[in-house]
Structure 1
Amino acid sequence: MDFQLKGRVAAITGASSGLGRRFALKLSEEGAAVAVMARRTDRLEALVEEIRAKGGKAMTCALDVSQTADIGPALDQVEAELGPLSIMINNAGVGGDGMALEMSQEHFDNTFNVNVRGVYFGAAEAARRMLKNGQAEAGNARIINIASIAAFTQLPALSAYCASKAAVVSMTKALAREWAKRLISVNAICPGYIETEINADWFATEGGQRQIQTFPRRRLMDEDGLDAALLMLAGAPGRQITGSAFTLDDGQLL
């Protein structure tokens, strides 16, 4: 399928590893120019070199999404170098683990600053530019928020994380409704467990292995499990999809 991504400009937060890195590679393979954004710029440089070596167009952009005042200027930098923004992937996130009786206010606030405020203002700043640069009017405006199956269940010692991801799903629907007539598609992808830096240490433990055995298919998802949904929502089919939260979990919630 031709997702019609050639020449489009995408910004991906949290792109220094894991899902964000994967998203950048897949969008680039389909012809999009990508801005990879994160705090760890050394890793971003390596990713950009990899994309360019394959003939793609990419740039790095240092960004801590918890510093929401920096998001707009970062997107201005993206547009100055790559062109009009039409795809925003709000992927940056933190684990937010901890029992409620042991949770510090600082840890709770950091979870919501990154997972909720960063996504909300990332979407708003992207939408503002898509309206101004004509990509919304052209039907190309896509905002994809990365939530989690944690939005729909209660996981042990992850109350703050679950609450933050439920907020992402709720805001996705609210923003989709607010911007529907302005032709900005806003959707969420809610992955199941894929091994990333956030959870790799846990799944290497005996407890982590026991958890995997509770999943109906007794396995973690492969890293390519989100590719099709990402390209569909970012590309031409996403023009008629908005306000949806797609659960992709290999049946882990069953």
Structure 2
Amino acid sequence: MTDFPLPHASHDLTGEVALVTGATSGLGWRFARVLASVGAKVAIAGRREERLEELAKLIEADGGEALPVVADMTDNESVLAMMEQAENALGTVTILVNNAGIPDAQYAMKMELDHIDRVFDTNLRGPFVLSCEFARRVKGARKPGRIVNIASVAAYNYSPGSAAALYSITKAGMVRMTEALAVEWSPFNINVNGIAPGLVRSEMSDGMQERMGDLTKYFPRKKIIETEQLDSTLLYLCAPASDCVTGTVIKLDDGQGSR
């Protein structure tokens, strides 16, 4: 019989190696700092090298360890090289946060084909390729692994005039990917879970509000979610406290929308 502490709720990630995509701003920026603050070595990936370097210095100033990795989620070679670079520098990656994503911000019939490809590749195809590479490596190392996929409540609800059908579709794909891979990889002690946030303060949401006006007036609580309010959910899904949780997507929308 396992002797668990009382309570079994540790967030200590000492000895773990995390890879966070889309780390140059918003949720990814915050997630990387949070994971580093509880002991994980963190590879931070994105397209803007100067922002990655800035984040790495911030993490190191706080006593953590960070590796900037310039990567493009739409390029297979770049996606695979990202994992290789992180492992060579920090050791086997045991936590993957699939956070990279872009909006479409267009009505479906007006979208150019190259933009359709870019949204699909960044939001769904790239994360799938990266997750498979992660799983192969962590299984080969005989270590347990954690994947946290960042979806959206847009995966469940779509309103007239949203002009974000493709974003909604790809995030729904992230939800189903979470569920399916959790089943397939359960025998290898790889837990696959997700977070589906509502509107969170970020560069992406700032752009949405510039185009569409103040969206908080439609919310019952009349406010936007702050990135810091996702900390506890992220840590729960990455830490030993959630050993038995896999295939779950947690909606975190502050009651912004319907169910």
**TM-score of the aligned structures, taking structure 2 as reference length:** 0.92
Aligned pair count reads: 248
Partner of 1:163: 169
Determine the C-alpha separation between the residues in 1 that align with 2:213 and 2:138.
42
1:60 correspondence with 2:65: no
Q: 2:103·2:204 contact (CA, 8 Å) conserved in 1?
A: yes
Spell out, residue by residue over 1:58-93, the C-alpha distance to the aligned partner (whole angstroms, 9 max, x if none).
111111011123222221111111112100001000
Q: Secondary structure at the match of 2:204?
A: coil
Q: Secondary structure at the match of 1:5?
A: coil
Aligned pairs (5 A) from 1:76-91: 76-91=84-99
Q: 1:9·1:85 contact (CA, 8 Å) conserved in 2?
A: yes
Q: 2:10·2:241 contact (CA, 8 Å) conserved in 1?
A: no
Q: 1:9·1:32 contact (CA, 8 Å) conserved in 2?
A: yes
Partner of 1:218: 222
Aligned pairs (5 A) from 1:110-149: 110-136=118-144, 141-149=145-153
Spell out, residue by residue over 1:176-197, the C-alpha distance to the aligned partner (whole angstroms, 9 max, x if none).
0111111100011101101211
Determine the C-alpha separation between the residues in 2 that align with 1:196 and 1:71.
24
Aligned pairs (5 A) from 1:181-196: 181-196=187-202
Q: 2:59·2:66 contact (CA, 8 Å) conserved in 1?
A: yes
Q: 1:107, CA displacement in angstroms?
A: 1.3
Q: 1:85·1:135 contact (CA, 8 Å) conserved in 2?
A: no
Gaps in structure 2 of 5+ consecutive residues: 1-8
Partner of 2:52: 44
Spell out, residue by residue over 1:97-142, the C-alpha distance to the aligned partner (whole angstroms, 9 max, x if none).
2012211122111110100101111111111111112222xxxx10
Task: Letter of the 1:146 partner, please give it.
Answer: I
Q: 2:97·2:150 contact (CA, 8 Å) conserved in 1?
A: yes
Task: Letter of the 1:88 partner, please give it.
Answer: L
Determine the C-alpha separation between the residues in 1 that align with 2:77 and 2:210.
37
Q: 1:204, CA displacement in angstroms?
A: 4.2
Q: 1:31·1:56 contact (CA, 8 Å) conserved in 2?
A: yes
Task: Letter of the 2:151 partner, please give it.
Answer: A
Q: Secondary structure at the match of 1:143?
A: strand
What is the root-mean-square deviation of aligned Cα atoms in Å? Answer: 1.2
Determine the C-alpha separation between the residues in 1 that align with 2:59 and 2:140.
28
Aligned pairs (5 A) from 1:91-102: 91-102=99-110
Partner of 2:204: 198
Q: Secondary structure at the match of 1:128?
A: helix
Q: Out of 177, 180, 183, which is 1:177 matched to?
A: 183
Task: Letter of the 2:213 partner, please give it.
Answer: G
Identity %: 38
Determine the C-alpha separation between the residues in 2 that align with 1:110 and 1:72.
18
Gaps in structure 1 of 5+ consecutive residues: none
1:208 correspondence with 2:216: no
Partner of 1:9: 17
Q: 2:95·2:147 contact (CA, 8 Å) conserved in 1?
A: yes
